[in-house]
A and B are shown apart, each in its own frame.
Chain A
């Protein structure tokens, strides 16, 4: 009972964060009666706690909507909700390949932002038909005309027939549904009789059902009982169930060409599946897999250590479990003199890092110390060999190194004129090279070539603060380049603390070193003795602070009745020390390892 292709529309929604993508999806689901009114909740499609809390989408979701159009026919609309963040750029581009059109949602009070651009370009690259949608017209600050013009100027697509809507009040939603049917194309001709060719859009773990894959059928038919093969990973599985999301999982007999749905095939681990892989039948495989498959590679690294060393084994279990569900996250054991046993983990970006760390802390109840995020440096030894440096602590003696290359990004920042000066200053401070600067209706767009290292840590926070939240930011990797980079060590009480070592540009070393020492002086509590805190390059000290000794820590009164109470207090004090890391004679609070690196100005 496959739906004729002419009655299918597959689409996604692209938008900058908070422009109303999730709200619009909710309205589409609601207006078409896909979900009973009483089951309706906000942000239907964001399933994970973290997604709901942060208002971000991490895993792709799909929903199938039956829409009786004005032309008298009922259409099947498949919406794929893609992650919107740069960290998941590859996943986004794959999801986009699975649909034929996009709604471009722009907040009519804000206009085009950096993520609008990044996402719409991915849609254009995927050959999408695009319907501009101006949202939030219920707000008095909405300027649909100005934003329409901006879309035409900046993105270069016709916005004269943009839908004006309020996803909040529901105004204009019927027009959006009609536009989907009338302005987006049906799936291209697929052949239901050809060998199965389907794209794995995303997969996720369900604690009851195991791994569920979201698939888009290109050719052929997929049904329960089929034996399938993943063409890249080589795994073969028996299909237990196929169905669609409405948004609850709903079993169907088969999925035909042009359709989007899920499959469940007793796959044990998400890691066994690869986003973008081609699914075919084992017996009658298709000839060529889908083009453009590439495994995702981590670009940001940091150390994760349990606060309580006794949690190490639990942490290992948790990390292994999480990794099973996320092929883009890498880990290897690491030992640090300062922090003990832990893991060096690789992530697609900072958000990805935060998401994984959050999940470890929350779902597995393990308190973690996170060390400074770092990137992969390419070290070229004098003998010509290239070494990939994931951890500044592993930096060899400079006498063996001929030069060091670091990853660079192309960053796009959009910001109201009045903050442009601060943004340029920030980018300059972070060793940026300006590539472009243009103005579009009261907003400036600047493009910088920046070292990724300068961005991974607190660039985004700083950007938000200097622009009062008005800037938007996006980036892509552009390759490696040589620079004058050195390892800066931090010595506390004359001993190097490996977890605080970092790679810096030689010209910025003194400044960073001073800032680090000052910060640490605030973060480390006074001890019974005075503590020198130094920053050094090789054997040369470049900055120094002294934390003076604690002077008074004594209970004024302690008589017979106080013995019990004071003893309890001592025990509590002792327990509090567990939150600190013993380093030589010095105890360093866990938050110091991250806070010390934040740069205020």
Chain B
């Protein structure tokens, strides 16, 4: 069976690398700059779209995602120009999803109508916490009141709205989280992303944690309990998890992120953006220059990508497995084994099934609720021993 990358869908990711301040937990490619030359960035994005679309040829575009950094700091007309250019370069699907990540501050809320007019039809807001103490501890610039006001604006402008919370924070008890999540579910529209705080290397939190200056983080058992509370409350509220950390009313899943997890095709433009593109029987991985200035220079010179690499079939299998098992729906076993017959061997699957960590049904394989909490180990057990 030829690798059917076309079934995963096709999306465009646009990275806007600027923020007003750097959050201490964040390891995204985000930078704080005083002045951004919007005209140069516009030219760079548009020329990248032209270049990549020439390479991909005509395809049906099912999603555009503005991520960051803080893309809600972009001028609305720049967002609109990019959407227009993308829709001209590829064929937009009838139900094209255009998502933009927004920080919940008043400055940004003022732009929401402009974004909608530019073609954005879904907004994802970084609320992160619903109490001011924890927001401060997370180094966020907004207050709960400001965030709620921004959220109300969003509700009046967009139909599809998601927001992010970070939990398993310092000194957060199971009860604290239960209360906060209940409140969030009261507010929620059709989608929620609920991430457990991860201490990422290279961040200020990492350094603090290393010095022992980040006390009160949950241990494995408490983190697992909090995850289970999350599942319980979200299920009851009609927003079940469709992925490890993502919850939606059935049908309101993020189409864009599903492309990643279904291991579909995506173009990535902007600093540090990654892409995966099918070409014939193979798959290409792209990675753009990470530094904003370097990317801008490279894009202006004709190509913002730093690395273009074919992905060997066994690595495609690893990626496909690693992404696919994150989804509640699981993935097609046959697709995996066509990429690398050694992956997910019958023996490895039998052992995991025996321990109640995976299920198999109609040729699909997926992680059980318990298995999803142990996904790194489960994936590790399904990979062949000799790489």
* A546-582 interface bits toward B, Cβ cutoff 8 Å, 1 = contact, 0 = none: 0000111111111111011011001101100100000
Q: Which of A526, A570, A571 has the most CB of B within 10 A?
A: A570
- Chain A residues contacting B357 (CB-CB under 8 Å) are 528
- Chain A residues contacting B315 (CB-CB under 8 Å) are 567
Complex Cα distance, B168 from A556, in Å, reads 11
- Chain B residues contacting A528 (CB-CB under 8 Å) are 352, 355, 357, 374, 377-378, 381
Shortest distance from the beta carbon of A168 to any chain B beta carbon, whole Å? 41
Let me know if A550 and B379 touch, CB within 8 A.
no
Complex Cα distance, B274 from A566, in Å, reads 13
Interface residues of B in 328-367 (CB under 8 A from A): 351-352, 355, 357
Let me know if A556 and B195 touch, CB within 8 A.
yes
Tell me the nearest residue of chain B to A554, going by C-beta: B375
Given A528-B374, A563-B319: A555 touches B198 (CB 8 Å cut-off): yes
Let me know if A570 and B376 touch, CB within 8 A.
yes
Let me know if A551 and B245 touch, CB within 8 A.
no
Let me know if A552 and B223 touch, CB within 8 A.
yes
Let me know if A554 and B355 touch, CB within 8 A.
no
Let me know if A571 and B387 touch, CB within 8 A.
yes
Let me know if A554 and B221 touch, CB within 8 A.
no
Q: B323 interface residue, CB < 8 Å from A?
A: yes
Complex Cα distance, B223 from A552, in Å, reads 7
Given A564-B287, A570-B379: A552 touches B227 (CB 8 Å cut-off): yes
Q: B292 interface residue, CB < 8 Å from A?
A: no
Let me know if A574 and B383 touch, CB within 8 A.
yes
Let me know if B276 and A553 touch, CB within 8 A.
no
Q: A585 interface residue, CB < 8 Å from B?
A: yes
Let me know if B351 and A585 touch, CB within 8 A.
yes
Q: A400 interface residue, CB < 8 Å from B?
A: no
Tell me the nearest residue of chain A to B261, going by C-beta: A558
Let me know if B224 and A552 touch, CB within 8 A.
yes
Bin the interface of chain B by size. 35 or more
Q: B304 interface residue, CB < 8 Å from A?
A: no
Q: Which of A551, A554, A555, A567 contacts B318 (CB 8 A)?
A: A567
Let me know if A552 and B274 touch, CB within 8 A.
no
* B89-129 interface bits toward A, Cβ cutoff 8 Å, 1 = contact, 0 = none: 00000000000000000000000000000000000000000
Tell me the nearest residue of chain A to B387, going by C-beta: A571
Let me know if B376 and A561 touch, CB within 8 A.
no
Q: A529 interface residue, CB < 8 Å from B?
A: yes
Q: B205 interface residue, CB < 8 Å from A?
A: no
- Chain B residues contacting A555 (CB-CB under 8 Å) are 198, 244, 375-376
Shortest distance from the beta carbon of B123 to any chain A beta carbon, whole Å? 17
Q: Which of A551, A558, A561, A566 contacts B224 (CB 8 A)?
A: A551
Let me know if B374 and A554 touch, CB within 8 A.
yes
Q: Which of A551, A573, A585 has the most CB of B within 10 A?
A: A551
Q: B257 interface residue, CB < 8 Å from A?
A: yes
Shortest distance from the beta carbon of B93 to any chain A beta carbon, whole Å? 18
Q: Which of A526, A554, A561, A571 contacts B373 (CB 8 A)?
A: A554
* B223-254 interface bits toward A, Cβ cutoff 8 Å, 1 = contact, 0 = none: 11001000000000000000011000000000
Let me know if B373 and A558 touch, CB within 8 A.
no
Tell me the nearest residue of chain B to A527, going by C-beta: B377
Complex Cα distance, B355 from A559, in Å, reads 28
Interface residues of A in 239-281 (CB under 8 A from B): none
Complex Cα distance, B196 from A256, in Å, reads 82
Q: Which of B198, B223, B276, B380 contacts A573 (CB 8 A)?
A: B380
Q: Which of A529, A554, A558, A560 contacts B276 (CB 8 A)?
A: A560
Q: Which of B285, B323, B373 contacts A552 (CB 8 A)?
A: B373
Tell me the nearest residue of chain A to B287, going by C-beta: A564
Q: B16 interface residue, CB < 8 Å from A?
A: no
- Chain A residues contacting B273 (CB-CB under 8 Å) are 561
- Chain B residues contacting A570 (CB-CB under 8 Å) are 318, 322, 376, 379-380, 383
Q: B272 interface residue, CB < 8 Å from A?
A: yes
Let me know if A559 and B257 touch, CB within 8 A.
yes
Let me know if B220 and A558 touch, CB within 8 A.
no
Tell me the nearest residue of chain A to B11, going by C-beta: A560
Q: B326 interface residue, CB < 8 Å from A?
A: yes
Q: Which of A550, A561, A564 contacts B377 (CB 8 A)?
A: A550
Shortest distance from the beta carbon of A495 to any chain B beta carbon, whole Å? 15
19 contacts between A and B (CB under 8 A): A528-B377, A528-B381, A550-B374, A551-B374, A552-B220, A553-B373, A554-B244, A554-B372, A556-B197, A557-B245, A558-B323, A560-B266, A560-B276, A567-B322, A570-B376, A570-B379, A570-B380, A574-B387, A577-B380
A556-B244, A563-B274, A567-B322 known; 11 new pairs, CB 8 Å cut-off, are: A526-B220, A528-B377, A550-B377, A551-B224, A552-B224, A554-B372, A555-B198, A555-B375, A558-B260, A560-B13, A577-B380
6 closest A-B pairs by beta carbon, nearest first, are A551-B224, A552-B224, A554-B375, A560-B260, A561-B274, A556-B195
